[in-house]
Amino acid sequence: MANHSKAKRGIPPKEDFNSWYPAIVEIADLVDKRYPIKGMDVWKPYGLSAMGLIDNLARTEMSRTDHQEFRFPLLVPEGLLDKENRLVSRLKAAREAGVDPSDLRFDDEESGFKKEVYWVTHGGENKLEIPMFLRPTSETPMYTMFSLWIRSHADLPLKTFQIVNTFRYETKQTRSFIRVREIHFFEAHTVHADQEGADLQIQEDAEMVQTIMHELCLPSLVSKRPVWDTFPGAWYTKAADVVMPNGRTLQVATYHHYRDQWADAFDLSYEDSMGVTKLCHQTTFGMSERLLGAVVGMHGDDKGLIMPPSIAPYQVVIMPVAAHSDANVLPAVEALAQDLSSNGLRTKVDSRDVRPGVKHYDWEIKGVPIRIELGPRDLSAGKCIATLRTGGKVEIDLDGSPANVKEMLSEISNELRNRSALVVSGLVQKFPIENLSVNDSLESLIEDGIVYEIAFDGTDSDAELIEKKTGLTLLGVSDNKFSEERPCLVSGNLTLKRSYIARMY
Amino acid sequence: MANHSKAKRGIPPKEDFNSWYPAIVEIADLVDKRYPIKGMDVWKPYGLSAMGLIDNLARTEMSRTDHQEFRFPLLVPEGLLDKENRLVSRLKAAREAGVDPSDLRFDDEESGFKKEVYWVTHGGENKLEIPMFLRPTSETPMYTMFSLWIRSHADLPLKTFQIVNTFRYETKQTRSFIRVREIHFFEAHTVHADQEGADLQIQEDAEMVQTIMHELCLPSLVSKRPVWDTFPGAWYTKAADVVMPNGRTLQVATYHHYRDQWADAFDLSYEDSMGVTKLCHQTTFGMSERLLGAVVGMHGDDKGLIMPPSIAPYQVVIMPVAAHSDANVLPAVEALAQDLSSNGLRTKVDSRDVRPGVKHYDWEIKGVPIRIELGPRDLSAGKCIATLRTGGKVEIDLDGSPANVKEMLSEISNELRNRSALVVSGLVQKFPIENLSVNDSLESLIEDGIVYEIAFDGTDSDAELIEKKTGLTLLGVSDNKFSEERPCLVSGNLTLKRSYIARMY
């Protein structure tokens, strides 16, 4: 294991999260950050495998809900942006005309992606007639094609997704998985006959996010983003944020209800059963390698990663003991590995000629859920010792071991869910005061690394006041249902609504 | 099925291959070519699924031979080309110094990729300090990292691969899968302690290519490319070419032995067990979506695609008959589908409310190997009729159907192998004359659409003469062993060597 010497150099304590995180992603061999472009890491086999298993969670959900996988080109000709810009202009005009803010879906500061994309200007030594950009996300290329594919109500709903590399010209500090310039990206795009169809899709997206987060053993805060943080052209945006151990929130999934706004810009219309031409309604749903970043950040400890069993590249590592002195050991190890593998368990045999302590140390860093030692004494007893990455050792019968291992994996998952729920419950707190007055100074009240839940039912300018006075960002209105009426932080009016304010990644 | 109306527009006869091929890739719903950049097609679910299954064939071989999957960044800073250019210059200088041509590994006309790549010059509105290009292949980014990873003989061999999108600024006419600008690409890169290790790797590559071609039911010509067609920096290049039905050859796989030439340029060295620093030896192995192009071109017929069972997205489609009048039909269809799926067969139920003829027609176009109809009469007889895409109908017992279906799939694969071998044997012919003289005119001898096997043991300038006089391209010396000595086409000296000349894609 080439990274062993590096590991020996020591993992910072997790308490010092801002040192621990960037160190562990390399020590555990997920990525190598030494590629000469910042924010473009090399995925090493262990990291790529974990990411592939996250992709598979998404693919399973997509398949269950009748989405089909496509792959669109990476490059987008500049001209296609015109349609997007048309959308921007219309929404801006609407806003300037004084349309009700709750009907406003666009923040012109975010207008277009032009400033955030990489531009391809030359092919070989030739200057391209039309510059092209690397997709930051695929609304523009996809909707261009959708408008060719959709003619009648029989073509709807169209439910698509792709898993691809996307790019963002990131000027902020980059962090592996969290803020990168080449992004391993998941995006689902759907087209419906009417708003109701899109509404149902948003519900389905919410359920899929919950399923995936459950598999990853990650609690999340789901909220409806404030208007100024809504995706361009969206009617509204909902997002799932994971509270990282340092109290910063990490947006890991978003889903957008577009109503017919993009359809209008991209001429996405269909003939209904009466022959009437109508605009389509659309949604998108996005996730990325940030999911792996959240897994790393939430579950790891001072000793390294802890991989949730659902995405652990190896769920079980078997280590032969005293194989030199007993010829029965290696065949028994192979038989056990075969038994576990054929029962669908991702199993690795570590027969390196190094001390058991080294093996434990290496696999502990990589967060393998279960490590099994098997030696002559275990063989004669028909039992072996399993070490759980979440702590503790369990004696298991060699007969029926796949069922035992599956049960242990399930317990490990539950333990990770409990632990992460506990972490988050300590980091999400009620705001210490109930009434904000313009003259209040909040500096002494705001604790670093805490996500605050506030009762809030105010306007955009109320929200702006809160952000300004706290230095935190409004995540938006929580999707949870609350039963206790509390006074709105700004207006004092009683409300059931809760919002979160936090420092976001 | 949205493409049905398109299919009705008619498939050109396969005899007219140059019309048939571009039509069928869209009619069978593999890709959509209407994306506004030529040579960048949209992969539709059916095409992407078939490609994914080809990827899996490659992954299986890679896993069997202990290669590990990585993923390197798409963008390469211009500066990294310096090392590549250093390699180019050294080889060029060697050539100019009159080094024996058999030791020459580089053609300066091919020098670097600079002219063939897309250049990213701007991030947002900022001009980048260092331009970056989209990888056409990944020697440069990978070897930059390898030189950080390899220190000692214990780090070798390093066997890596990745499956990624690569880009080429293609100025020739584009064709789906065959000549595109965004390429779905497979590349394996290995590093060894010495030339012998690399030699063995080349052998392993050759075996893997044969395995994959066998699964795809494709015969191929394997030859050692002439020096001027050798990959930059390679000692030698071998390639597998598929003879398409129009007689043009399509290079579908290449593997390169680099000796220590790239290692020298990239400072790829290691300490051997005696503490001596030595240069590494390297190989690469590349394949691409061209494999799917070859499958389409070779196996299809006037009615559409014929998918080899190994990569058929659906191996079996089951069509319920008279399900309206007999309530037992649909449950029986579902039970059969479940039985086949749980035995690892990719199965689809087509319960659309359209006439059986329409279903047969649609799945025939898509090349599904086996179509099964199941109706009330079949249920009472305990049998059903399977229609094979390669022709013929077979009655099978509903009991034990998975085994029956697997056997039929195996027969279909063999049938495809026989058919394609027959096609190729008709297209590859011995050259009509044995002696080429400078004054010969060959126009009347060269038949369009034929690949010629020639006895050839000559020099580069002899080869140039052949290419000039025939208008064909020399593929290189065949890897096959021949037992009959024949006179070299140019020199007349007896030789066991055979080369191929053909029109290449």
Chosen from B75, B172, B183, B185 to mutate, greatest number of chain A CBs within 10 A: B75
Is the per-residue pLDDT at B243 higher than 90? yes
Q: Given CB atoms, is B365 within the 8 Å cutoff of chain A?
A: no
At A95 the pLDDT is 60
When scoring A6, A42, A82 by the number of chain B Cβ atoms within 10 A, the one with the most, hence best to mutate, is: A42
**Structure token digits, residue A52:** 């592939």
pLDDT at B14: 97
* Per-residue pLDDT at B498: 97
**Which residue in A has a C-alpha nearest to residue B124's C-alpha?**
A115
Residues 6+ away with beta carbon under 8 Å from A287: A58, A185, A186, A209, A212, A252, A253
Distance, CA of A406 to CA of A386 (rounded, Å): 12
pLDDT score of B10 more than 90: no
Could you tell me the pTM of the whole model? 0.94
pLDDT over threshold 50, residue A383: yes
What confidence score (pLDDT) does residue A80 get?
Answer: 85
Does residue A148 carry a pLDDT above 60? yes
Do the strands B316-320 and B347-349 form a parallel or antiparallel pair, or are they unpaired?
parallel
For residue B107, the distance in angstroms to the closest alpha carbon of chain A comes to 19
State the helix-helix crossing angle for A290-299 and A17-27, rounded to 10 degrees.
110
User: Which pLDDT band holds residue B495 (cuts at 50, 70, 90)?
Assistant: very high
Sheet strands (E) in B79-181: 118-123, 126-134, 158-167
Q: Which of A317-331, A438-452, B199-213, B458-472 has the lowest mean pLDDT?
A: A438-452
pLDDT score of A88 more than 80: no
Q: Band the pLDDT of A10: cuts 50, 70, 90.
A: confident
Supply the pLDDT for residue B323. Answer: 87
Q: Which domains does chain B have, with CATH numbers?
A: 4-299 (3.30.930.10), 314-414 (3.40.50.800), 428-504 (3.30.110.30)
B427-454 pLDDT, tens digit per residue, is: 999 999 888 876 667 777 889 999 999 9
List the helix and strand counts (H, then E) for chain B. 13, 25
Strands (E), B201-357: 221-224, 236-243, 248-259, 269-271, 277-279, 281-288, 316-320, 347-349
Closest approach of B364 to chain A, Cα-based (Å): 21
Nearest to A312 by CA among A40, A20, A39, A56: A56
Quick one: pLDDT at residue B96?
65
For residue B110, pLDDT over 60 is answered with no
Q: Give residue B108's region: left, alpha or beta (phi > 0; psi -120 to 50).
A: alpha
Residue A499: phi, psi to the nearest 5?
A: -125, 165
For chain B, say whether A149 makes contact (Cβ under 8 Å). yes
**What confidence tens digit (pLDDT) does each residue in A421-471 have?**
999 999 999 999 888 876 667 777 889 999 999 999 998 889 988 999 999
Taking only residues 116 to 135 of chain A, the set having a beta carbon closer than 8 angstroms to any beta carbon of chain B reads 116-126, 132, 134
User: Residue A438's pLDDT is what?
Assistant: 62
- Asked if pLDDT for residue B346 goes beyond 50, the answer is yes
Model confidence over B272-321: pLDDT tens digits? 999 999 999 999 999 999 999 999 999 999 999 999 999 999 999 999 99
Q: How many CA within 13 A on the CB side of residue B101? A: 9
- CA B76 to chain centroid: 25
What per-residue confidence (pLDDT) applies to A437?
74
Q: How many CB atoms lie within 10 A of CB B275?
A: 7
A183 touches chain B (CB under 8 A): no
Give me the total of CB pairs closer than 8 Å, taking one residue from chain A and one from chain B. 141
Q: What is the pLDDT of residue A314?
A: 98
Those of residues 30-49 in B touching chain A at CB distance below 8 A are: 32, 34-37, 40-45, 48-49
pLDDT confidence of B496, banded at 50, 70, 90?
A: very high
Q: What percent of chain B has pLDDT over 70?
A: 93
User: Of A73, A115, A169, which has the smallest distance from its Cβ to B35's Cβ?
Assistant: A73
- pLDDT reported for residue B9: 57
CB contact under 8 A, B37 and A73: yes
List alpha helices for B343-475, DSSP H.
356-365, 376-381, 401-427, 460-470
Q: Residue A102: pLDDT above 60? A: no
Select the residue of A42, A71, A132 nearest B70 (Cβ to Cβ). Answer: A42
Whether the complex's predicted ipTM surpasses the cut of 0.85: yes
Q: In terms of DSSP H, where are the helices of B175-240? A: 195-215
Q: What is the model's pLDDT at position A229? A: 80
Residue B440 has what DSSP assignment?
-
pLDDT in tens, B397-414: 998 889 999 999 999 999
Nearest CA distance, B62 vs chain A (angstrom): 13
- Residue A230, pLDDT > 90, answer no
- As a whole number, mean pLDDT of residues B168-192 equals 97
* pLDDT higher than threshold 90 for residue B479: yes
Q: In this predicted structure, what is the pLDDT of residue B94? A: 66
pLDDT bracket for residue B229 (50, 70, 90)? confident
Q: Does A273 score more than 80 pLDDT?
A: yes
Give the number of other Cβ atoms within 10 Å of residue A203's Cβ. Answer: 11
- Over 50: is that where the pLDDT of A202 sits? yes
- Under the banding of pLDDT at 50, 70 and 90, the label for residue A277 is very high
Mean pLDDT of the residues in chain B = 92
Rounded to an integer, what distance in angstroms lies between the CA atom of residue B81 and that of residue B141? 9
Query: Is residue B50 exposed (0-12), middle (13-18) or buried (19+ Cβ within 10 Å)?
Result: buried
Residue B90, pLDDT above cutoff 90 = no
Closest chain A residue to the Cα of B120, Cα to Cα: A120
The pLDDT tens digits for A334-354 are 999 999 999 999 999 999 999
